[in-house]
Each structure stands twice: as C-alpha cells, then as structure tokens.
C-alpha cells in the first residue's frame, strides 16, 4: 500500500468527523453561511482548534470563492501552508544520537522500536538505550523490542540514573561503530527527580561525551488526546531543544486536526506519524498526503485531487 493510502486510512476517523459536518453542503453552488458554518464545525470537530479555525475561515472569506468544492480546495491549500515540510532524515554524526521524550503512555517506547526497525531496514546499525529506569517493566519492554529486532541495547538496573544510561550508550556506540543511538525516556511527571530536570541533565551529560548531541530530540504526542496534549507538552518545549514531533495513534483518533495546532504552536516540524501498534506502523510525515487525508471529500480518486 502506498504511503498516501496508509495516511488516508489512518485519518479515516478524523476525516469522517470533518465530512459529517461538510457533506450536506457539498455541491452547493453558492458560497453561503451554511457552507462556512459547515466548514467551521468540521474543523472544530476534527480538533483543529478554535484559533486556527478562525484564521482559516477568515482566509476563506478573503478568497471570495463560492461553492463548497471551491472553498474546500482553498481550505486544502491553506491547511498546507500550516504544515512545514519536514527536513530530510539526516545522520550527521557517528553515532547520531536521537532522544525520544513525551508524556507517559503517548507511545515513546513503541516509537523507539519503530524507528530502530526503520533505520535497521535502511542498513544502519542501531543501538537503543533504556533510559526510562523508573519502571522495571519499561526496561523489559525495551529489551524485548531490541531482541525481537536484533538490535543492540544498553540497560542499567531499575532506578539507575537515566543520564548514566545515555552516557554509556553513546560510549558503547562509539566503541562498536554504531550509526544511531535511540534513547527511550520516562514520561511520568511526578517522579522523585522532576522529569524536566532529569531530561535536562541527560542532555548536559550527552554533550559531555559528544558536544553535538543530541542530534534529534523527538517529542512524542498522542493524537487521540487532541488539543489537550498540547498544554501537556508546552513544558517539554520550554526545557528541551525539540527538533521534531512524532504524532502517534493517528489511526484510532478522530482528532487528527490537532496536527495543525501542533505545527503552529510548537513551531517544530511533524516528522513521523504513528498509525498502529505494529513495528511498521510509522510513516514519514508528508504534508500533502496528510492534508489530502484530512479533507479529501471523495477519496481516493476524488474531485479534489
């Protein structure tokens, strides 16, 4: 299945929400309040957020377009302008160090495993570090993934200093000539050491071993939490040099529109989409495919193409 189809499939629930509101007005010849109202409702239903919905509606009014099909085409273009093209995957250092952070349960560990798989498929040697030492089960979960994938891993005992795990992982990666180190972290906000302090320390310690590290800090966001996830993650943005967002659980969510708010408010590109629990269910983010999946009214060979 092509990437476009997979994105479109993952966005089914979000798109349905949007379309539910808009469908009745489809094909209406004149731009009317009903069309604008339907688009507004559709955007809000799919969790684009109040602010951005307002902006989009103002923009649509200014285009002077009439009729729902024309307006939806204009909407699609406007949505695209909100979603920056992510930079290409780069591996600037050997090892390239990728830190994965986010609120607990959002999908960090799964994303680490999916990325390890993706990069191993590309022929890279990958090492994963179990720097969520707060839960014994978290270390086991990561170890199981590493073993299943046939990639190296570094673990310490339960309760160990996460920064020390990260430090060891980079040292080991150097010694073994590894290409990419993926670091899984804890997400609980109420541990003994506050999470942000713990993660900041990890960044400082990483920089001691490798001044250019971490090369990527990926913030994992759960699309099914919608707008609420944003508030929870502002803190990560304040404390860490986030380079990209991974939007997980897009498959089960009807709130995929929150991606717009993420791109606008976090001012970092969305890099990947999590579209299922399987190891291959991670897609590189492509704005055009995403927007098409979001508002396509007659998929897959519909009139809006």
Ligand X SMILES: Nc1nc2c(ncn2[C@@H]2O[C@H](COP(=O)(O)OP(=O)(O)OP(=O)(O)O)[C@@H](O)[C@H]2O)c(=O)[nH]1
Q: Which residues bind Mg ion (CB under 5 A)?
A: 108-109
DSSP string for 101-112: E-STTSSHHHHH
Q: Which residue has the tokens 């073994």?
A: 176
Q: Which is nearer to Mg ion, 26 or 279 (CB)?
A: 279
Q: What does the alpha-carbon distance between residue 230 and residue 232 come to, in Å, rounded to a whole number?
A: 5
CB of 281 to ligand X, least distance (A): 6
> Shortest gap between Cβ of 110 and ligand X (angstroms)?
3
User: Nearest approach, Cβ of 280 to Mg ion (angstroms)?
Assistant: 19
Among Mg ion, ligand X, none, what binds residue 45 when CB lies within 5 to 8 Å by partner kind? none
Nearer to ligand X, 75 or 139 (CB): 139
| 15 binds, options Mg ion, ligand X, none, Cβ within 5 to 8 A by partner type | none
Residue 179 touches which of ligand X, Mg ion, none (Cβ within 5-8 Å per kind): none
CB 25 → ligand X: shortest distance, Å? Answer: 32
Any idea which residue has 């269910």 for tokens? 281
Q: How far is the CB of 112 from ligand X (least distance, A)?
A: 8
Q: How far is the CB of 176 from Mg ion (least distance, A)?
A: 24
- Residue 49 or residue 187: which is nearer to ligand X going by CB? 187
- Residue whose CB is less far from Mg ion, 137 or 303: 137
Q: Are 245 and 266 in contact (CB under 8 A)?
A: yes
Q: Which does 110 bind (CB under 5 to 8 A by kind): ligand X, Mg ion, none?
A: ligand X
- Residue number closest to ligand X, CB atom: 274
The binder of 276, among ligand X, Mg ion, none, by C-beta within 5 to 8 A per type, is ligand X
Q: Residue 106's binding partner, choosing from Mg ion, ligand X, none, with beta-carbon cut-off 5 to 8 A by kind?
A: ligand X
Residue 19: which of 74, 72, 79, 63 has the closest Cα?
Answer: 72
Q: Which is nearer to ligand X, 35 or 154 (CB)?
A: 154
Phi, psi of 271 (to 5 degrees): -105, -35
Q: Which residues bind to ligand X, rule: CB under 6 A?
A: 102, 104-110, 132, 138, 187, 248-249, 251-252, 274-277, 281
Name the strand (E) or helix (H) holding 143: helix 136-149
Question: 66-70, long-range: CB within 8 Å, 24+ apart, which pairs?
Answer: 66/29, 66/30, 66/31, 67/27, 67/28, 67/29, 67/30, 67/31, 67/35, 68/22, 68/25, 68/26, 68/27, 68/28, 68/35, 68/38, 68/39, 69/26, 69/27, 69/297, 69/303, 69/304, 70/31
Alpha carbons 39 and 53: distance in angstroms, whole number: 9
């Amino acid at each position: 299945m092509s990437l476009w189809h997979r994105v479109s499939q993952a966005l089914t629930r979000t798109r349905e929400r949007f379309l539910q509101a808009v469908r009745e007005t489809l094909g209406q010849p004149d731009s009317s309040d009903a069309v604008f109202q339907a688009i507004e409702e559709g955007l809000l239903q799919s969790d684009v957020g109040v602010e951005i919905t307002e902006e989009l509606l103002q923009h649509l009014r200014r285009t002077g377009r009439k009729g729902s099909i024309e307006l939806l085409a204009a909407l699609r273009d406007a949505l695209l302008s909100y979603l920056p093209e992510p930079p290409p995957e780069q591996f600037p250092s050997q090892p390239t160090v990728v830190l994965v952070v986010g609120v607990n349960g959002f999908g960090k560990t799964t994303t680490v495993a999916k990325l390890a798989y993706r990069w191993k498929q590309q022929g890279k040697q990958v090492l994963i570090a179990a720097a969520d030492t707060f839960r014994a089960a978290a270390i086991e979960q990561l170890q199981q993934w590493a073993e299943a994938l046939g990639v190296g891993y570094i673990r310490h005992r339960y309760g160990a200093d996460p920064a020390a795990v990260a430090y060891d992982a980079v040292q080991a990666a150097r010694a073994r000539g590894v290409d990419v180190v993926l670091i899984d972290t804890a997400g609980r906000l109420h541990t003994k050491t506050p999470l942000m302090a713990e993660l900041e320390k990890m960044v400082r310690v990483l920089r001691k071993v490798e001044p250019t590290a971490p090369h990527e800090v990926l913030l994992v966001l759960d699309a099914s939490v919608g707008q609420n996830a944003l508030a929870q993650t502002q803190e990560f943005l304040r404390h860490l040099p986030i380079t990209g967002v991974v939007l997980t659980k897009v498959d089960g969510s009807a709130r995929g529109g929150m991606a717009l708010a993420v791109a606008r408010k976090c001012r970092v590109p969305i890099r990947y989409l999590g579209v299922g629990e399987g190891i291959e269910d991670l897609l590189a983010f492509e704005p055009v495919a995403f927007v098409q999946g979001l508002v396509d009214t007659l998929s897959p060979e519909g009139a809006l193409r």
